[in-house]
């Protein structure tokens, strides 16, 4: 089983240069790892057996299994469940008046659909890293990330280079910051779209799936025996399938097969985890967007956030600095602070603030 997850190891690798934040990593790293792992599990027949196994004559066993897998299986709706009918399995019985037949085909696409979702969650990261960020942070903070520096002169030279760059290009980083803010917003839009798409994919059952499952688990002792829980309704373990062929007299013969679906034991667990994760991720992303808007509109909040990354910097020094820099410059400076030691970053911020203060004195 360990070999199955070997391809996921590359995603777990931590990057040396930080160009985003923790909420961003929940989307492109944690969520993508979860989805790829689920896709591998769904498609690993050697560990979970055949996804479907139907009752059939010996000479038609393979044919009926493949037919029912490629077409669809049927369960009878809950409208007739109140009738006191003896049934071998929930949803497996003759159709009566008022019943609704549920033809389910989603199971053929679960593995591919999960891979599609993994690609969708990685798309904002791809846009930000390869199309918009373009290695700017790596070029700025290279050779300054180690906590212990033996060559202090080279560290001071790198600090001066960063200060010169920020001073010379002040006010030009609005576009850089805006592209990151757009990427954050795309993360929120994407998780919302994935919730809606998954709801449609499962016959509009996903949006209430988690609530129904948790309700059933909480009051399971009080449920009547003939009550079907949502996991069995949406992901039936046993279903029925009708296969037609020619009989000995040339007439059409029907085989009504009962099919066992081992793969749904896995699918029901996968989608309950995804339900919980997607809704939590959507809430976290929404709060992240609200916080981002606050940082854009409230300069004191930006000052406080930058001061948290520095060590023992006087308020008047930050006051000088924030009179000169905008939102884009602040964002770039904050990203630099994520990649540097606190002491080195504090000296860099002080040097940049003194540089702006010296320029104003000279101009007077």
Alpha-carbon span 184 to 189, nearest angstrom: 9
Q: Is 204 left (phi over 0), alpha (psi -120 to 50) or beta?
A: left
In a domain? residue 345: no
Domain range for 64 is 2-297
Query: Chain centroid to CA 156: how far?
Result: 41
User: Whole-angstrom distance between the N-terminal and C-terminal Cα of the chain?
Assistant: 72
Provide the edge-to-edge strand list for the sheet that holds 238-246.
Answer: 53-54, 252-260, 238-246, 73-76, 101-104
pLDDT over 80 at 148, yes or no: no
Which residue's structure tokens are 């792992």?
A: 37
In a domain? residue 319: no
In a domain? residue 342: no
pLDDT tens readout for residues 169-197: 999 999 999 999 999 999 999 999 999 99
In a domain? residue 309: no
CA distances, 328 to each of 132, 165, 349 (Å): 14, 14, 15
Overall number of domains in the chain: 1
In a domain? residue 358: no
- Rounded to two decimals, what is the model's pTM? 0.84
In a domain? residue 95: yes
In a domain? residue 59: yes
- Partners of residue 245 on adjacent β-strands: 253
pLDDT tens readout for residues 274-303: 999 999 999 999 999 999 999 999 999 999
In a domain? residue 364: no
């Amino acid at each position: 089983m360990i070999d199955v997850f070997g391809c996921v190891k590359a995603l777990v690798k931590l990057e040396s240069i930080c160009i985003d934040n923790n909420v961003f990593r929940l989307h492109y790293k944690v969520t993508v790892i979860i989805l790829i792992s689920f896709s591998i599990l769904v498609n690993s027949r050697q560990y979970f057996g055949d996804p479907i196994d139907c009752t059939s004559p010996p000479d038609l066993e393979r044919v009926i299994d493949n037919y029912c897998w490629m077409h669809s299986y049927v369960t009878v709706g809950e409208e007739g469940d109140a009738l006191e009918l003896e049934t071998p399995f929930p949803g497996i019985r003759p159709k009566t008046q008022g019943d609704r037949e549920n033809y389910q085909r989603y199971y053929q696409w679960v593995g591919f659909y999960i891979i599609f979702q993994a690609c969708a969650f990685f798309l904002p990261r791809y846009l930000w890293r390869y199309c918009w960020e373009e290695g700017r942070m790596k070029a700025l903070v290279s050779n300054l990330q180690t906590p212990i520096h033996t060559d202090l002169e080279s560290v001071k030279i790198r600090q001066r280079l960063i200060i010169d760059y920020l001073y010379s290009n002040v006010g030009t980083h609005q576009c850089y910051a805006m592209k990151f803010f757009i990427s954050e917003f795309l993360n929120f839009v994407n998780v919302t779209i994935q919730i809606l798409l998954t709801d449609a994919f499962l016959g509009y059952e996903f949006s209430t799936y988690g609530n129904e499952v948790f309700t059933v688990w909480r009051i399971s002792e009080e449920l009547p025996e003939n009550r079907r829980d949502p996991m069995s309704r949406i992901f039936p373990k046993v279903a029925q399938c009708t296969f037609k062929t020619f009989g000995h007299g040339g007439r059409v013969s029907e085989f009504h097969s009962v099919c066992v679906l081992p793969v749904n034991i896995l699918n029901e667990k996968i989608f309950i985890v995804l339900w919980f994760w997607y809704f939590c991720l959507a809430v976290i992303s929404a709060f992240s967007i609200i916080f981002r808007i606050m940082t854009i509109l409230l300069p004191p909040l930006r000052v406080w956030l930058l001061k948290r990354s520095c060590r023992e910097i006087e308020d008047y020094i930050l006051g000088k600095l924030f009179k000169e820099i905008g939102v884009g410059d602040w964002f770039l400076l904050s990203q630099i602070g994520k990649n540097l030691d606190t002491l080195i970053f504090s000296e860099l911020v002080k040097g940049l603030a003194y540089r702006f203060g010296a320029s104003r004195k000279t101009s007077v």
